[in-house]
A and B are shown apart, each in its own frame.
Chain A
Amino acid sequence: MALTSEIKSDSSPKPAIAVEQLDHFFGKGELRKQVLFEINLSIASGEIVILTGPSGSGKTTLLSLMGGLRSPQGGSLRILDTELVGAPKTVTVESRRSCGYIFQAHNLHSSLTAIENVMMGLEVHGVYPRTERRDHAVQMLELVGLEKRIHYYPENLSGGQKQRVAIARALVSHPQIVLADEPTAALDKQSGRDVVTLMQKLAKEQGCTILMVTHDNRILDIADRIVYMEDGKLVKNSEPSMLPASLPGKSG
C-alpha cells in the first residue's frame, strides 16, 4: 500500500509539486468569483495522484495552474522547486516545458501527422536535431503501440489512438511531471484502461510524477493516492480503498 503523503514528504527530497495556500479568482470587479480556496497539496516525486470531484469543483483549474497554463494569483505554487506565483514570463515558459500536459481533447494539430505531432514535443526544447527528434518520436509511438500509424493524420485515427499520440507527445521529452486532464473522458472502457495502464507503465519506467484529473471511476485503482475536491476546496487525501463505492459527479 502507498504511504500517506505526510510520511513520504518528510523522508524524501523536495516534492515535485508543492502548493501552499493557493487561492484563485475568475472575473473582475463585481463578477469576481473565488474558485480555489487555500489549497494545500504536496505531491512527491514518482507518485501517481488522482484529483477528482464534482464538475465545477476547480480540479481542472488547479491542474492548469500547475501546468503553467494559467497565471497563479496568490499563495505559493512550486513546480520542481520553482516558484510560479509572481514569476516572470521566462520562468513560466520554462516551467511549461518541464511538464507534459495531456488535454481532455488531445489537441493534436490536424495538419501534422502523428509523428510530426510527437516531434513537436521535442522541438520546443530547441536542443534536439531533426534526426534525433524523429528517432525519439518513432520510439515513443512504438511504446504506445502506434508504430504502424506514424504517418497518419489525426482525422484518420480513432479517439483512443489520438489520445495515445497525445500521450506520446507529452512524454517524448521524458518530463518529470505529467499532468492529465480527463484523459479517458472520450474513450470507451477498454481504450481508457489501456491509456492509463500505459501512462502508469511509462511513469514507472521514467520515474515521473503523474497528476490526473478524472471523473472516471474505472481507473481509480492505478493511483497511489486520491485527492478529492469540492467547491474549490480539498476535502480529503485518501487511498483508493477508503473511497465510497460510487463517487458523485460521474464522468459526463
Chain B
Amino acid sequence: MIAQAEQGQTVKTEIERRTIQVAGLFSLGASFATDGTLITSQENFLRFFPERGAGQVTLGLVKVKPGTDPNQVVAQIKAILPQDAIASTKQEYVAFEQAYWEKTTPIGIVFTFGTVMAFVVGTVIVFQILSTDVNEHIGEYATFKAMGYRDRYLLLIVFEEAILLATLGFIPGLGLALGQYALIRQAASLPIAMTFARLAFVFFLTMVMCIVSGLIATRKVQSADPADIF
C-alpha cells in the first residue's frame, strides 16, 4: 500500500468498516507504542472516535512569537487551564515522555538493567586485563619498590595504563554504538540518535571503571614486601 501511494496512485483501504483514501505520505517513524501514524481532518477524526467531543484535545501545540519567553507563556497558560491539564515547554514535554517510558513501563526498566549489566561486564573485563598485565610485570614492580619507589608511583603507572585503555576502548565502542543506532533506525524505524551528554557520561563511567580496576589490581604490589614477590 505504501509503495502504491509513493507512486502517486490512489489508494483505498478500510478502517472500522469505513473506506478511506490515503492522500499522501509523510515521514515520522515508529515509536514503542505505535507502528504508524495517520493525520486526518477534525471531522474524520470525530467520525472514527464518536465517544470523544470536539473540545477534547489530547495534545495541543502553541507556537510563541520569536522573542517571547516560553516559560512565561507556560505560566500564563497554566493559570487558565484546569488542574488535570499539563502545560509545558517542549523540553519539559520531552523529559516527561522519557520519564514515562523509563520509569513506568517495562521497556525503561529493561534498558536500565541492560546498561547496568554492560557496566558490570565491562568492569570485569577491564579488571582482568589490568590484573593480568600487573601480574605479568609484578617482578618489575617489585624491583621498583626495592629500589625505593613509593607505592604512589607504581599506582600512577597503572592508572596511566588504565586511562589509555579506557580511551582506546572507547573509540571503537563509540563507533559500534553509532553503527548500531544506524541499523536500528533502518530496521525498526525508531528514531534514535547519539547525544553529547550520553557520550560524555559513558566516557566518564569508562574512566571510573578503569581506575577502580587499576586500584584493585595493584593491591598485592602495594601491600607486599618486595622480597616476597621475587
Cα distance, A69 to B142, chains bound together (Å)? 9
Taken residue by residue from 90 to 132, chain A's Cβ proximity to chain B (1 for < 8 Å, 0 otherwise) reads as 0001111100010100010110000000001100100000000
Which residues of A have CB within 8 Å of B143? 103, 107, 109
Instruction: Let me know if B150 and A93 touch, CB within 8 A.
Output: yes
- Known A-B contacts A107-B139, A109-B140; the reply to A69 vs B147 at CB < 8 A is no
Interface string of B140-181 (1 = CB under 8 A from A): 100111111110000000000000000000000000000000
Count of chain B residues with a beta carbon within 8 Å of a chain A beta carbon: 15
Q: How far is the CB of B43 from chain A (nearest CB, A)?
A: 79
* Chain A: number of interface residues, binned into ranges: 10 to 19
Interface residues of B: mostly helix, strand, loop or mixed? helix
Name B146's closest neighbour in chain A (CB-CB).
A69
User: Contact: A120 with B147, CB < 8 Å?
Assistant: yes
Give the CA-CA distance A70 to B230 in the complex, in Å.
Answer: 11
Question: For the complex, what is the distance from the CA of A103 to the CA of B143, rounded to whole Å?
Answer: 9
Q: Does B226 contact A (CB under 8 A)?
A: yes
Given contacts A103-B143, A107-B140, A107-B143, contact A69 B225 (CB under 8 A): yes
Q: Are B140 and A124 in contact, with the CB atoms below 8 A?
A: no
Q: Is B28 part of the binding interface, using a Cβ–Cβ cutoff of 8 Å?
A: no
Asked if A70 contacts B148 (CB within 8 A), the reply is: no
Residues of B within 8 A of A107 (CB): 139-140, 143, 230
Indicate if the CB atoms of B227 and A124 lie closer than 8 Å: no
Asked, given contacts A69-B226, A69-B227, A70-B225, whether A94 binds B148 with beta carbons under 8 Å apart, the answer is yes
Contact B148 A64 (CB under 8 A): no
What are some 6 contacts across the A-B interface (CB < 8 A)? A68-B146, A68-B148, A96-B148, A107-B230, A120-B144, A124-B147
The 3 closest A-B pairs by CB, nearest first: A97-B148, A96-B148, A69-B227
Interface residues of B (CB under 8 A from A): 139-140, 143-150, 225-228, 230
